[in-house]
Structure 1
Amino acid sequence: MKPEEIIGYVDGLDGVLTVQPSEGDGTPELAWGDTFFYYAPDGVMPTNTQPFATIVTKNYPGDELSRLDRPDVFRVNIAAGKDNFVKWTGHAPRDTPAGEVDYSAFDTLMPHPVYGTVGWLAVVNPGPRTEADTRELLHTACELARARYERRNG
């Protein structure tokens, strides 16, 4: 899967706002080139919520284990929620075994190297082994975000 394919898929889900920071739009330079997906049926950037998924193309400070500094490497990050996290990893988010995950492995569904403890999953360069699972998880993450939005907004 290429980032453009993932963006097209998620952007096609109902109520999704896709944000792609770039130079001149007031966003921090570090975020330029990355993609953030929000559930925002009104099309307005939410101020009180995190994205339900992201695509990052570079290392962030404190988040270098995926080695995104390699050419053509990106990572899809998904707020899977506790139940889906357990389903896909076999353990609770807070029980991720230290040192037992190769966070730089391609096409492998894994706990997020930083946010795994709060139920986020990640895939570096999703490919044939993880494409269907990645799409399913992105759809589910969007539905979870929709449910949170509806609870907050009546």
Structure 2
Amino acid sequence: MLEAMNIDEITEFLGALDGVLILRPGPGDGTPEIAWGDKFFYYAPDGEIPANTQPFATVVTKNYPDDERSRLDRSGVFRVNIQVGTELFTTWTGRAPRDPEPTDTDPSVTDTVIAHPVYGKLGWLAVVAPGPRTTETIRELLRVAYDRACSRTRRRTESR
């Protein structure tokens, strides 16, 4: 059985992919204090944060304003967020991203692929406190998100 992926393993996995830029906000770097300790993953082959682009994955370690339902204030709990697009979002959740969220949804459930509680409408999935059930799935979804980010960058570059 696979062991749970921790934040360092997720960071190492993504950092080993070509062109991934990892933002690690912290004291003294000009980032908002709320982001300190979190990680933001971009496809940026030139090493610069792409203009007008969101990260393709993030790891958050605490609740944000208007994003408390995952209960990231529990000890040792973090959430990995992955931008997978409409098709995979629908496959995993059984609904389109803009469809209403079922009323029985619990975004604090652990080791389960869920719609991101805030950005699900934009095709983001999430896993709170990844464990052995989701380790391989997280790797697969992160690879898809990375490939999608690479394709978007290529399309932008070719259209210039």
Report the counterpart of residue 13 of structure 1 in structure 2: 17
- Aligned equivalent of 2:132, options 116, 119, 128: 128
* Equivalent runs, 1:113-152 vs 2, <5 Å: 113-152=117-156
Q: What runs of 5+ residues in structure 1 fail to find an aligned partner?
A: none
SS of the equivalent of 1:95 reads: coil
- Aligned equivalent of 2:91, options 70, 87, 92: 87
Identity of aligned residues (%): 60
Report the counterpart of residue 102 of structure 2 in structure 1: 98
TM-score by length of 2: 0.93
Letter in 1 for 2:70: S
Give the conservation status (yes or no) of the 8 Å contact 1:19–1:36. yes
How many residues in Structure 1 have an aligned counterpart in Structure 2?
Answer: 154
* 1:148, distance to aligned residue in structure 2 (A): 0.7
Deviates more, 1:87-96 or 1:121-130: 87-96
CA distance in 1, matches of 2:88, 2:18: 21
Across the aligned residues of Structure 1 and Structure 2, the Cα RMSD in angstroms comes to 0.9
TM-score by length of 1: 0.97
* Equivalent runs, 1:62-73 vs 2, <5 Å: 62-73=66-77
1:51 lines up with 2:59 in the alignment: no
* 1:124, distance to aligned residue in structure 2 (A): 0.4
* 1:100, distance to aligned residue in structure 2 (A): 2.0
Report the counterpart of residue 29 of structure 1 in structure 2: 33
* 1:47, distance to aligned residue in structure 2 (A): 2.7
Report the counterpart of residue 8 of structure 2 in structure 1: 4
- Aligned equivalent of 1:108, options 105, 108, 112: 112
* 1:95, distance to aligned residue in structure 2 (A): 1.7
SS of the equivalent of 1:26 reads: coil
1:78 lines up with 2:117 in the alignment: no
* 1:96, distance to aligned residue in structure 2 (A): 4.3
